[in-house]
Amino acid sequence: MQKITKEVYLNWYEEMSFWRKFEDKLAAVYIQQKVRGFLHLYNGQEAVLAGALHAMDLSKDKMITAYRNHVQPIGMGVDPKRVMAELYGKATGTSHGLGGSMHIFSKEHRFYGGHGIVGGQIPLGAGIAFGDKYKGSDAVTLCCFGDGAARQGSLHETFNLAMLWQLPVVFICENNGYAMGTSVARTASHTDVWKLGLGYEMPCGPVDGMNPVKVAEGLDEAIQRARKGGGPTFLELKTYRYRGHSMSDAQHYRTKKEVEDYKKIDPITQVKEVILEKKYASEEDLKKIDKRVKERVAECEKFAEESPFPEKNVMYDAVYEQKDYPFITNNI
The site for ligand TPP (CB under 6 A) is made up of: 66, 68, 116-118, 145-149, 176, 178-180, 245
Contacts for 153 with CB less than 8 Å, ≥ 6 apart = none
User: CA–CA separation, 83 vs 76, rounded Å?
Assistant: 12
For residues 127-156, which are near Mg ion according to CB under 5 A? 146-147
Instruction: Specify the amino acid at residue 39.
Output: L
User: CA–CA separation, 83 vs 92, rounded Å?
Assistant: 9
Q: Is position 15 an interface residue for Mg ion (rule: CB under 5 A)?
A: no
Binding-site string for Mg ion from residue 90 to residue 129, where x marks contact by CB under 5 A and - marks none: ----------------------------------------
Question: CA dist 318 to 98, 104, 315, 323, 332, Å?
Answer: 8, 15, 6, 15, 16
CB-CB neighbours of 291 under 10 Å: 10
User: CA–CA separation, 213 vs 136, rounded Å?
Assistant: 31
At its nearest, how many Å lie between Mg ion and the CB of residue 237? 11
Nearest residue relative to Mg ion (C-beta) = 146
Pairing of strands 62-64, 141-146: parallel
At its nearest, how many Å lie between ligand TPP and the CB of residue 175? 7
For residues 163-182, which are near Mg ion according to CB under 5 A? 176, 179
Toward ligand TPP, which CB reaches closer, 35 or 304? 35
Say if residues 240 and 177 touch (Cβ distance below 8 Å): yes
Say if residues 201 and 163 touch (Cβ distance below 8 Å): yes
Toward Mg ion, which CB reaches closer, 132 or 147? 147
Toward Mg ion, which CB reaches closer, 205 or 244? 244
Toward ligand TPP, which CB reaches closer, 68 or 133? 68
Partner from ligand TPP, Mg ion, none binding residue 68, C-beta < 5-8 Å depending on class? ligand TPP
Give how far the C-alpha of residue 236 lies from the chain's centroid of Cα atoms, to the nearest Å.
14
At its nearest, how many Å lie between Mg ion and the CB of residue 95? 25
Toward ligand TPP, which CB reaches closer, 102 or 223? 102
* DSSP code per residue over 90-103: -TTSTTTTSS-TT-
Q: Rule CB under 5 A: which residues touch Mg ion?
A: 146-147, 176, 179
